[in-house]
Structure 1
Amino acid sequence: MKAPSPSVVAALPQYDLGAQIGHGGMGVVYSAVHRPLGRPVAIKRLPGILAEDRRMSERFEHEARLLARLDHPHIVPVYDYVQNNGEHLLVMEKLDGGTVWSRFTEVGFTPAQTCALGLAMLSGLHAAHGAGVLHLDVKPKNLLFTAGGVLKVADFGISQVVSEGATLMTHGGQVLGTPAYLSPEQALGNPLSPAADVYGAATVLYELLSGRLPFDSGGGPLAMIQRHVHQEPRPLTDVPAPLARVVMRGVEREPVRRYRNAETFAIDLAGAAAEVFGADWLMRVGTPVHLSPQVAAASSRPATGSVIPRETLNIPVRGTMVEATPPVRLGQQTLVPARDLIDGQEPRPARWFGLAAALLAAVMVALPFSLPASDVPVLAVDLSKPVVVPVADGVTSAEFDIWAAGFSVARTAGVVADGRATFELPGAARWVVGGAVDAAVTTNTGVTEYSLQPPQNPMISIMGVGSGVLLLFTFAYLESLLRSLRRRQSGTAAVVASAPLGFGLGVAVLVLPSVLLRVAPGLWPAVACGVLGASAAVCTAVATRRAAASRASAAAGT
């Protein structure tokens, strides 16, 4: 490990400094001992950019005073803050119990242990929020253990001072901070509140309970940030439902839909844990946790339903992922707000998709009215009665076929006598046919085609009612999908689901006018209308999704 630089040693004459014990985008940490007191401490050397910006340096000095006043069992205490010859150094309690990340990847945590750690984390966050300090970099590596197993939250406020609440990136895509736990509003540089830390804490709980993150981690930091901003997190499966509901509320994309503060989050988490593990769960876990009276009461609330068997919840969940994002070294690098890069890569409003959808829909609607009229003879008969068709001399056998859009509706053999063939159709056939369908009489001398047009009102048939119901159903369901896309509650799955719905809508658009106009619907026109409908629906869904993303980005910039 690297030894501290001479400037750091000179700035701390009362300390014996040891080797480097940690590093990240927000600074480097050294072990040390305060000689007069013999107290082990950790020295955090803050990024050199603080020394280069007087305004930032003054802001951090103010933040350090706030941090020094924080006195809470689940917050790493700050003993001193030193500025000397360009060095900015925080002197903190030294914790020897490792981090949540190290234990998570080595031995893992049971769901009950995770809930206890979550309550400790939220307790520390709520105390800091009450003092006016946001963390903005909540992650397993910033959750440390004492030798006695008490969890403490470290590195409050550093991210906010260095980046002024925004997420900064290099032009190469490296992120100052940890994109896996980043709230959407922080990525976009929007005003921040305790809800940003609620998001980070909920993401940590999601990972500790399931062993994975709410979003895919591939594609690099910028792609990860874009997922947080524009996509919904994956549902938390294989986790007891009461816990999953609480955590998923914590990772809602919109801040107003999350818990309003860390304590309300903790109350619901404690209640869900009591429901799953039993009222004495926290005592059995044995993890030291300092709770407010409201959270303590929720943690011992009697279960309203059956408690999940304990043996099914005693298997630890281990982390198998490694941090793929190297920390950004501040110094001479040019940093820009992540929102600028996100906006630069986010597709513009899809006007072309909207125009394509309108054109495809227009062709789909016009197609049923442009089909040529059939030139075969019309056979107007009441299908509820025997169908009589004249036949040529010499015909000894006859068969009657009815089909619509290429699908057989009925087929029956007839009785030939006195130059006529009489057919008794199945009972269901009379209710299927509406408007007009194709029909053919096949005899031993040849085939004669007809356009079969029953005199009954076509809308009392299955073809009429069915096409109307299909039209209303597919249209309503498509509108529901588009509404969810406009509200950014759905993503790619809604776009994919729009294709079969559009196909069904296109088929209904062909069949219903055909029934009313008494034109026999053909197979290939039905397929063509279905394809046009599917294409129009997908284009509309893509245009709606991109327009919603564009509006969100524009709103973030105001």
Structure 2
Amino acid sequence: MTLSSVVAALPQYAVGEQIGEGGMGVVYGGMHRQLGRPVAIKRLPHAVAEDPRMSERFEHEARLLARLDHPHIVPVYDYVRQQGEHLLVMERLDGGTVWSRFATDGLTAQQSCGIVLAALSGLHAAHEAGVLHLDVKPKNLLFTSNGVVKVADFGISQVVSEGATLVTHGGAVLGTPAYIAPEQAMGNALTPAADVYATGTVLYELLCGDLPFERGGGPIAMIQKRVYQDPRPLPNVPEPLAGVVMRSIAREPDARYRNAETFAIDLSAAAGHLFGPDWLTRLGIPVHLAPQVSASSTRPSLRPVDRDTVSLSQQPIRATLVDPIPAARLSGSSTLVPAASVIRPPSTPWALWLVAAVALIAMVVLPFVVSGRQLTEVSQSLADPVKEQGTQLVVSLAGLELANVQGGPEGFVLPGATRWIVGGAVTASVDGREFLLVSNQTPWLSLMGTGSALLLLFTLAYLESNLRALRKRQTGVAAVIASVPLGFGLGLAVWLLASVLLTHEPTLPIALTCGVLGAATAISASLASRRA
């Protein structure tokens, strides 16, 4: 359809040139002929008019939108459904978008918090009226000429998609995948928590210049990360603000703020803690807040004693990304399917897990089945002299010499350090004659016994922490590299602990073999966790 159909449907308005375009329609400038009031005319996609069910849903939604009256919501002046057109007439805002200001001049942390508080105030009012936004992003946050932030495009995405994220067969997404909540992408039941997630993602980006997930891979991959991965921790932002942001973008809806107002209360309190209780007064951006939100930033208990956030509070932050992936345009020829039908759960790298499992089993079994040489055992308390015939006693652990003592009238007296180290069995020789020297005291009183157990617990704990961080994409190649020495240490701990408990001869070849098997276990598991 041509512009003439828009003009014919709105005789009381002078329709001007196109001023915007997106996946949900085209926007024209206009002027009310009698009132002289500038307006923005949203022309919805023809697919809305061509689908009777969608058309009826949107008419119902338009009535709700027209009743929304809030300082931080773009007001709807009129709705016209005529001659195959669905037209929303709204207030025209000429102050630009949050995205345009963020990408050019940048925004300070205080400005970003103030902008998001304004958006949350408008969103909460809409949620109270039964309207979800479902497409919150910096481009849908607009400034008036006086600097007031208003949220635009309420409800359009919800009507078109009935809450689910839709994609074309070519992989383009109807909506903005950078800010979509996981439950929205999967077509699950939606609550205000979906808008909380999107708004929290906007705040994350404004505070650090980047999104909470790795870049690349296209829109489907972007959605998939949000469904199956946890967001990266917010860098260079102190507590409590970082904790508030990370809670707002938790993957599970139940872990987020239950609504926009509770998010705003904690955000206001955190900002008051970092920037001072009068930060909103100094901000210069008009923000209309509910009393409980406004009061949270001036609580005496949250006033900082020593503020060390000068760089955070004063340095403008700019976008490091280009404009996020554009949305698909809704047209009559588009074949749209739910995103949940095309995104796939992460594949499990079975081969790497199999290698890790085989190496782990071999590492654990080897010290128990390979006992070293069959030597004569001499069992005694190492605090007593070793009564063996000869002139020189050498005690070693896997080739590492622990003692070299000369014989005396009472035998060979071991140094105190050696007695403290040895637990279980070690290799000993008197004038070249080898035997196993076995301590008859509990091995847990020795460095070999207790040390091997502590080394085992230490390496296991750090390896588990590394694997968890790799699965959550909180670390990268550095954790994979670090897993090699940790795995080697794990193998040595298993070998030494088994040797001590079974009183096997602790030999170097078995130690090295267990260490290599431990390193193979760790690096295979790390690579598998990272690829998953």
Which segment drifts farther, 69-78 or 525-534? 525-534
Instruction: Report if aligned partners of 1:231, 1:491 keep a CA contact under 8 Å in 2.
Output: no
Which segment drifts farther, 324-333 or 450-459? 450-459
Measure how far apart 1:339 and its partner are.
1.7
Aligned counterpart, 1:265: 263
Instruction: Report if aligned partners of 1:4, 1:18 keep a CA contact under 8 Å in 2.
Output: no
Q: 1:501 to 1:230 in 2, by over 3 A?
A: farther
Which segment drifts farther, 53-62 or 501-510? 501-510
How far apart in 1 are the matches of 2:370 and 2:238? 57
Aligned counterpart, 2:367: 368
Aligned counterpart, 1:426: 415
Q: Could you say what secondary structure the match of 1:23 adopts?
A: strand
Q: 1:434 to 1:235 in 2, by over 3 A?
A: same
Q: Could you say what secondary structure the match of 1:37 adopts?
A: coil
Residue type matched to 2:343 in 1? Answer: I
Which segment drifts farther, 256-265 or 34-43? 34-43
Measure how far apart 1:328 and its partner are.
0.8
How far apart in 2 are the matches of 1:514 and 1:144? 70
Which segment drifts farther, 456-465 or 158-167? 456-465
Aligned counterpart, 2:150: 152
Q: Could you say what secondary structure the match of 1:19 adopts?
A: strand
Residue type matched to 1:17 in 2? Answer: V
Alignment of 1:51-62 (within 5 A): 51-62=49-60
Residue 507 of structure 1, aligned match among 469, 487, 492: 492
Residue type matched to 2:323 in 1? Answer: E
Aligned counterpart, 2:514: 529
Aligned counterpart, 2:339: 338
Instruction: Report if aligned partners of 1:514, 1:521 keep a CA contact under 8 Å in 2.
Output: yes
Which segment drifts farther, 79-88 or 381-390? 381-390
How far apart in 2 are the matches of 1:187 and 1:527? 49
Measure how far apart 1:528 and its partner are.
2.7
Measure how far apart 1:369 and its partner are.
2.2
How far apart in 2 are the matches of 1:192 and 1:527? 56
Residue 404 of structure 2, aligned match among 412, 418, 425: 412
Aligned counterpart, 1:516: 501
Compute the RMSD of aligned alpha carbons: 3.1
Q: Could you say what secondary structure the match of 1:97 adopts?
A: coil
Measure how far apart 1:353 and its partner are.
6.1
Aligned counterpart, 2:290: 292
Aligned counterpart, 2:161: 163
Q: 1:252 to 1:500 in 2, by over 3 A?
A: farther
Q: Deviations over 1:307-329 (max 9, x none)?
A: 52685422221223212413212
Residue type matched to 1:347 in 2? Answer: S
How far apart in 1 are the matches of 2:329 and 2:28? 17
Alignment of 1:124-203 (within 5 A): 124-203=122-201
Aligned counterpart, 1:325: 325
2:217 matches 1:222 = no
How far apart in 1 are the matches of 2:209 and 2:474? 23
Q: Deviations over 1:206-229 (max 9, x none)?
A: 111222211122222122212212
Runs of 5+ consecutive residues of structure 2 not aligned to the other structure: none
How far apart in 1 are the matches of 2:461 and 2:116? 42
Residue 424 of structure 2, aligned match among 435, 446, 456: 435
How far apart in 1 are the matches of 2:109 and 2:469? 34
Q: Could you say what secondary structure the match of 1:57 adopts?
A: helix
Aligned counterpart, 1:20: 18
Instruction: Report if aligned partners of 1:174, 1:325 keep a CA contact under 8 Å in 2.
Output: no
Measure how far apart 1:106 and its partner are.
1.6
Residue 4 of structure 2, aligned match among 6, 21, 31: 6
Measure how far apart 1:174 and its partner are.
1.7
Which segment drifts farther, 352-361 or 465-474? 352-361
Which segment drifts farther, 103-112 or 68-77? 103-112
How far apart in 1 are the matches of 2:397 and 2:171? 58
How far apart in 2 are the matches of 1:492 and 1:170? 33
Residue type matched to 1:452 in 2? Answer: L
Q: 1:523 to 1:84 in 2, by over 3 A?
A: farther
Q: Deviations over 1:454-497 (max 9, x none)?
A: 34344432212222344455556667788x689x8676669847
Measure how far apart 1:500 and its partner are.
5.6
2:403 matches 1:403 = no
Q: Deviations over 1:268-289 (max 9, x none)?
A: 1111111112221111112111
How far apart in 2 are the matches of 1:65 and 1:401? 93
Instruction: Report if aligned partners of 1:431, 1:462 keep a CA contact under 8 Å in 2.
Output: yes
Measure how far apart 1:115 and its partner are.
1.6
Measure how far apart 1:87 and its partner are.
2.0
Instruction: Report if aligned partners of 1:403, 1:438 keep a CA contact under 8 Å in 2.
Output: yes
How far apart in 1 are the matches of 2:401 and 2:170? 64
Instruction: Report if aligned partners of 1:15, 1:35 keep a CA contact under 8 Å in 2.
Output: yes
How far apart in 2 are the matches of 1:199 and 1:371? 56
How far apart in 1 are the matches of 2:475 and 2:204? 22
Residue type matched to 1:364 in 2? Answer: M
Q: Deviations over 1:28-49 (max 9, x none)?
A: 1111112222211111111222
How far apart in 1 are the matches of 2:294 and 2:2? 44
Measure how far apart 1:89 and its partner are.
1.5
Aligned counterpart, 1:552: none
Measure how far apart 1:71 and its partner are.
0.6
Measure how far apart 1:399 and its partner are.
5.6
Q: Deviations over 1:205-254 (max 9, x none)?
A: 11112222111222221222122122222222222322212111111111
How far apart in 2 are the matches of 1:491 and 1:236? 10
How far apart in 2 are the matches of 1:538 and 1:133? 49
Residue type matched to 1:403 in 2? Answer: S
Residue type matched to 1:527 in 2? Answer: L
How far apart in 2 are the matches of 1:340 and 1:255? 21
Residue type matched to 1:414 in 2? Answer: Q
2:298 matches 1:305 = no
Instruction: Report if aligned partners of 1:374, 1:451 keep a CA contact under 8 Å in 2.
Output: no
Instruction: Report if aligned partners of 1:211, 1:317 keep a CA contact under 8 Å in 2.
Output: yes
How far apart in 1 are the matches of 2:516 and 2:175? 47
Q: Deviations over 1:339-378 (max 9, x none)?
A: 22222x6315x66666655544433332122215414444
Q: 1:225 to 1:527 in 2, by over 3 A?
A: farther
Q: 1:510 to 1:31 in 2, by over 3 A?
A: same
Measure how far apart 1:544 and its partner are.
8.6
How far apart in 1 are the matches of 2:30 and 2:355? 67
Aligned residue pairs total 527
Aligned counterpart, 1:555: none
How far apart in 2 are the matches of 1:209 and 1:458? 55
Q: Deviations over 1:40-92 (max 9, x none)?
A: 11111112221232111111111111101101110001111222233221111
Q: Deviations over 1:424-483 (max 9, x none)?
A: 432110121222222345x6xxx444333234344432212222344455556667788x
Q: Deviations over 1:87-140 (max 9, x none)?
A: 221111100111111111121222212221111110000000000000111111
Measure how far apart 1:154 and its partner are.
0.1
Instruction: Give TM-score scaled by structure 1 length.
Output: 0.85
Q: 1:157 to 1:452 in 2, by over 3 A?
A: same
Which segment drifts farther, 272-281 or 88-97? 272-281
Q: 1:50 to 1:290 in 2, by over 3 A?
A: same
